[in-house]
Amino acid sequence: MNKINSTPEKDGFRMPGEFEKHDGCWMIWPQRPDNWRLGGKPAQKVFARVAEAINKFEPVTVCVNYDQYENARDMISNDVRVIEVSNDDAWMRDCGATFVVNGSEVRGVDWAFNAWGGLVDGLYFPWHKDDFVAQKMCELIGVNRYRLDDFVLEGGSIHVDGEGTVVVTEECLLSAGRNPHLTKEEIEETLKDYLNVEKIIWLKRGIFNDETNGHVDNIFNFVRPGVCVLAWTDDKNDPQYEISKECYEILSNTPDAKGRKLEVHKLYTPKPVLITAKESEGVDAVNGSIPRAEGDRLAASYANYYTANGGIIFPLFDDPNDEKARTLFEKLYPDREIVGIEGAREILLGGGNIHCITQQQPSVQ
Ligand code: KQY
């Protein structure tokens, strides 16, 4: 397959919205002991649960390092494809290809990946195996790819409506560890060129204490063009309150690419989730990897749900707001089955969420 020396915008390709019909979903298997407690054993059970839940709606492929292949193959049913693809950790949304479509062809966008901030404030070192994942995905499914060697971006830091709008956070896209050589305007130009969007809506910050420098996918999601959800709390003493309020103002007052005023639905967060002593003790301390200390607050939210063809896959935190989230999803997605994932705390303990462990492969539309 070829590396293309052009841009999706020039070639007439666009990134589809999450809610559009797609061909499947990709994931990576967790194992690294300096990120996942107990060598990833508890997280693996939950990843398997997520893969099986999504596989009810669309084919799932799980990529796994060679030393975990047999274990993963054993823990996941044969209905799900498990293949060997070397990786540094399990964040498919972030290191995998971002796909673009033109009505008759799918192509991949292969951004540079530096583990959320490289040597400035990245979360582990090295990350070169992750940086190859997007290329391998494109070759496996036989699609051409645009590669950006000099532009760092993760899939979880963008949300598009498929109709010309992308939502991002300044906290993430303007962070010192990603593209400090570029101005905000130059970053906007790159997003326009490679996602084929006309309008960039800049939120200021993402979920409080999110180690990705505030990925948008943990605080915001598009339900469909013109309609979105925003992670929310009414608790004025919670630092999340000011962050969400600021986002709400921006989203309510910034028209999208089609000139629409966004309909914003408040999606209440669970109460703060803190790392316990037992959980902290299960993680290997390694210089250069983010520490997991007892009492640290995790970036818990329901906005990182996955939109499958016929379903919504969302995290359960054993919190009263689990039900509130389900009720909102039932209202917003009357034609999709709403599926909660028990034990999603284990994904959170690794610093992530359901959205960032999954990547969609679009249909040729
Ligand atoms: O996109 C994400 N939320 C991934 C977080 C990576 C955390 C690595 N410890």
Is ligand 1 within 6 A of the CB of residue 290? yes
Q: How many Å apart are CA 29 and CA 123, to the nearest integer? A: 18
Q: How many Å apart are CA 194 and CA 273, to the nearest integer? A: 36
CA of 338 to the centre of ligand 1 (A): 24
Regions of the chain with pLDDT less than 50:
none
CA of 290 to the centre of ligand 1 (A): 10
Tokens of 151: 């532009």
Cβ contact 207:172 at 8 Å: no
What is this structure's pTM? Answer: 0.97
User: Computed over its alpha carbons, how large is the radius of gyration of the chain?
Assistant: 19
- Domain limits of the chain? 8-360
- Please tell me the predicted confidence (pLDDT) of residue 126: 97
Quick one: which of 7, 25, 69 has its CA closest to 355? Answer: 25
Instruction: Ligand 1 pocket test: pick from 211, 221, 283, 346 the residue with the most ligand atoms within 8 Å of its Cβ.
Output: 211
Quick one: which of 39, 35, 24, 1 has its CA closest to 83? Answer: 24
- Please tell me the predicted confidence (pLDDT) of residue 103: 93
Q: Say whether 63 is catalytic.
A: no
In this structure, whether the domain defined by 8-360 belongs to CATH 2.40.50.140 is answered with no
- Please tell me the predicted confidence (pLDDT) of residue 1: 83
Instruction: Ligand 1 pocket test: pick from 91, 172, 175, 359 the residue with the most ligand atoms within 8 Å of its Cβ.
Output: 91
- Please tell me the predicted confidence (pLDDT) of residue 365: 67
For the CA of 89, the closest atom of ligand 1 is: 8
- Please tell me the predicted confidence (pLDDT) of residue 193: 98
Instruction: Identify the residue whose C-alpha is closest to ligand 1 atom 4.
Output: 352
